[in-house]
Amino acid sequence: MSERSSVSELAETLRAELNRYSPGGKLPSSRALVERFRVSPVTVSRALAQLAAEGLVTTRPGAGAFRSRPATVVPATGDTSWQEVALSADGATDAVPRTVDASGLLATLAAAPPGVIAFNDGYLHRSLRPERAMAEALARAGRHPGAWDRPPVEGLTALREWFARGIGGAVTAEGVLITAGGQSALTTVLRGLAPPGAPVLVESPTYPGMLAIARSAGLRPVPVPVDTDGVRPPLLADAFRVTGARLFICQPLFQNPTGAVLAGERRGEVLRIAREAGAFVVEDDFVRRLVHDDAGPLPRPLASGDPDGVVVHVCSLTKVTSPSFRVCAVAARGPVLDRLRAIQVVENFFVPSPLQEAALELVGAPAWHRHLRFVAGELRARRDVMATELARQLPEFEMPYFPSGGYHLWLRLPDGTDESAWASAVLRAGVMVAPGRAYFCAEPSASYMRLSFAGVADLAEITEGVRRLRQAWDEMRG
């Protein structure tokens, strides 16, 4: 049993026994708890600290732990209705309203209740994360001389060099900024490259978090359709010409949500079209390290073949490690780099040095490449089982693209399907999915859903989840 699970179980047991003690009453000593539950003193200390953080117990050095006295809470009776007017008036002069709609993001961040299978998750399940390697890396990083000093605002030089080598081409450490995760990086980039009210071209469908960033900044997302070979260059050129946009945001590798890879013959076309429009291309290279072990050679990032500073490249360690390991890089060339650096400093100062040091320790350890190989094999196996079960159980559903990387499948629902009713039906059946509507900034051509195979415990859970989807579909059809 892991230390973490032992702490959780002991805390749960002590929580259930608190009613045995009167408010202010003393709990058994740490030594007594160690002997009774046959756990380590560290486990006892952490369990009591968890209860203290919940306000259930109070610990006094040298005296022990005591059941907390109930606090007298007086409900607030203020009137917040004035805020509706204030918040509405704040954007009255904006060319485009700065709406903050996180519903698409929350659909993938929502934790599944007990017994519900999480096909909505956008991150690796704990069983796929390198948690031991990350813990060891963080411990080593914390002991580095100067690890707790203020780092350079651009990020540690060695970490910037590591990211630059991964991007390739003419990218060097001098052109890389370290940021606190991909979402933060994309927010910085959009703020730096487009003024409020401006149009920005986005793939359709695309990542809901990108749409949320754009809209909250007062930008106007304009869809450019993708197919199984990525964005369609003629439509991209038309969109630049019609809108006058100076920014295109794309995911050329394992696009979210379709899983498509931008075809080789289109890569140069995209850069040429953007260059002729005097526009930037933001390359969100978010899952390059989640390639499956049956994929062929991957195309290099667009940034590696861009000498003119057209591409602003974003890549992160988060997807392949943990949602809490928020270390990301932004690469750019020319004056735009100075602007992004300034925004980064104003918004965040810098990424904490211990986290950057831990990232260096992690990617430099032998366990790093073992982890990448392990994840590549696991994701391929999970993808294959989910695709096989979907074809067997739900042949009515269409899979436009079969990905060789990433963590999800994109399915088109049968014509006429009510997407909201379907999401409700599958939740009643014990499955959480990501409805497709949130991935479109304009009216979608059909109903879709995204199913993640990375956020569940094992292959058996995938099989059971698809069985429940079949059950929900039968119930919907009545």
**Residue-wise pLDDT tens digits, 303-321:** 998 888 899 999 999 999 9
Which DSSP helix (H) or strand (E) runs through 328? strand 328-331
Instruction: Verify that 360 and 296 share a domain, yes or no.
Output: yes
User: Using CA of residue 111, residue 137, residue 38, residue 54, what is the dihedral sign?
Assistant: negative
Predicted local distance difference test score (pLDDT) of residue 74:
62
- Give the range of the structural domain holding residue 443, as residue numbers without chain letter: 103-128+369-477
Instruction: Verify that 414 and 461 share a domain, yes or no.
Output: yes
Alpha helices in 91-156, H assignment, sequence order: 103-109, 131-142
Predicted local distance difference test score (pLDDT) of residue 82:
62
CATH number at residue 228: 3.40.640.10
The model's confidence at residue 1, banded by pLDDT at 50, 70 and 90, is very low
Higher pLDDT, 102 or 384: 384
For the question of whether the overall pTM of this predicted structure is more than 0.85, the answer is no
Predicted local distance difference test score (pLDDT) of residue 351:
87
Higher pLDDT, 89 or 398: 398
Other Cβ atoms within 10 Å of 186 Cβ, number: 26
Predicted local distance difference test score (pLDDT) of residue 79:
67
Taking only the tens place, the pLDDT of each residue in 409-420 is 999 999 989 888
Residue indicated by tokens 């100076």: 246
Taking Cα atoms as reference points, which of 212, 275, 217 lies closest to residue 246? 275
The model's confidence at residue 5, banded by pLDDT at 50, 70 and 90, is low
Domain endpoint, select from 349, 366, 383: 366
Domain endpoint, select from 313, 337, 366: 366
Residue 33 within any structural domain of the chain: yes
Taking Cα atoms as reference points, which of 356, 369, 255 lies closest to residue 302? 255
The model's confidence at residue 83, banded by pLDDT at 50, 70 and 90, is low
Integer CA distances (angstroms), 288 to 166, 167, 254, 255, 285, in order:
10, 10, 8, 10, 6
Predicted local distance difference test score (pLDDT) of residue 470:
95
Taking only the tens place, the pLDDT of each residue in 160-178 is 999 999 999 889 999 999 9
Instruction: Verify that 115 and 182 share a domain, yes or no.
Output: no
DSSP strand pairing (448-452 vs 434-435): antiparallel
Quote the DSSP letter at residue 258.
T
Instruction: Verify that 199 and 345 share a domain, yes or no.
Output: yes
Residue 411, beta-bridge partner list: 449
Instruction: Verify that 359 and 403 share a domain, yes or no.
Output: no
Residue 257 · residue 444 · CB < 8 Å: no
Whether 431 shows a pLDDT value over 90: the answer reads: yes
Give the span between the Cα atoms of 94 and 82, in whole angstroms: 21
Range from 37-41, 105-109, 384-388, 428-432 carrying the lowest mean pLDDT:
105-109
Burial of 61 (0-12, 13-18, 19+ CB in 10 A): exposed
Instruction: Verify that 27 and 155 share a domain, yes or no.
Output: no
Residue 448 · residue 436 · CB < 8 Å: yes
The model's confidence at residue 276, banded by pLDDT at 50, 70 and 90, is very high
Residue 94 within any structural domain of the chain: no
Question: How many residues are recorded in the chain?
Answer: 478
Give the mean model confidence (pLDDT) for residues 263-281. Answer: 93
Higher pLDDT, 33 or 61: 33
Taking only the tens place, the pLDDT of each residue in 453-473 is 999 999 999 999 999 999 999
Residue 75 within any structural domain of the chain: no
Whether 103 shows a pLDDT value over 80: the answer reads: no
Whether 152 shows a pLDDT value over 80: the answer reads: yes
Whether 478 shows a pLDDT value over 90: the answer reads: no
Rounded to the nearest integer, the mean pLDDT of the chain is 89
Whether 17 shows a pLDDT value over 60: the answer reads: yes
Integer CA distances (angstroms), 471 to 10, 128, 391, 427, in order:
38, 28, 15, 11
- Interior angle at CA 412, CA 410 and CA 413, nearest 5: 130
Domain endpoint, select from 319, 341, 366: 366
CATH number at residue 472: 3.90.1150.10
Give the span between the Cα atoms of 449 and 218, in whole angstroms: 27
The tally of CA atoms less than 13 A away on the side-chain side of residue 383 is 24
Instruction: Verify that 269 and 152 share a domain, yes or no.
Output: yes
Taking only the tens place, the pLDDT of each residue in 215-231 is 888 899 999 999 999 99
Range from 48-52, 357-361, 374-378, 386-390 carrying the lowest mean pLDDT:
48-52
Whether 85 shows a pLDDT value over 70: the answer reads: no
Residue 303 · residue 313 · CB < 8 Å: yes
The tokens of 350 are what? 């810098």
The tally of CA atoms less than 13 A away on the side-chain side of residue 469 is 27
Instruction: Verify that 153 and 267 share a domain, yes or no.
Output: yes
User: What domain count does the chain have?
Assistant: 3
Whether 349 shows a pLDDT value over 70: the answer reads: yes
Instruction: Verify that 390 and 457 share a domain, yes or no.
Output: yes
Whether 359 shows a pLDDT value over 60: the answer reads: yes
Strands (E), 138-279: 176-179, 199-204, 220-227, 230-231, 247-250
Predicted local distance difference test score (pLDDT) of residue 105:
62
Instruction: Verify that 389 and 436 share a domain, yes or no.
Output: yes
Residue 271 within any structural domain of the chain: yes
Instruction: Verify that 291 and 393 share a domain, yes or no.
Output: no
Range from 3-12, 241-250, 280-289, 458-467 carrying the lowest mean pLDDT:
3-12
% of the chain residues with pLDDT over 70: 91
Residue 381 within any structural domain of the chain: yes
CATH number at residue 55: 1.10.10.10
Which residue pairs from 105-113 have beta carbons closer than 8 angstroms and sit at least 24 positions apart in sequence? 105/208, 105/209, 105/212, 107/208, 107/434, 107/435, 107/438, 108/208, 108/434, 108/452, 110/432, 112/432
Higher pLDDT, 46 or 87: 46
The tokens of 414 are what? 């049968």
Residue type, 141: A
Instruction: Verify that 121 and 161 share a domain, yes or no.
Output: no
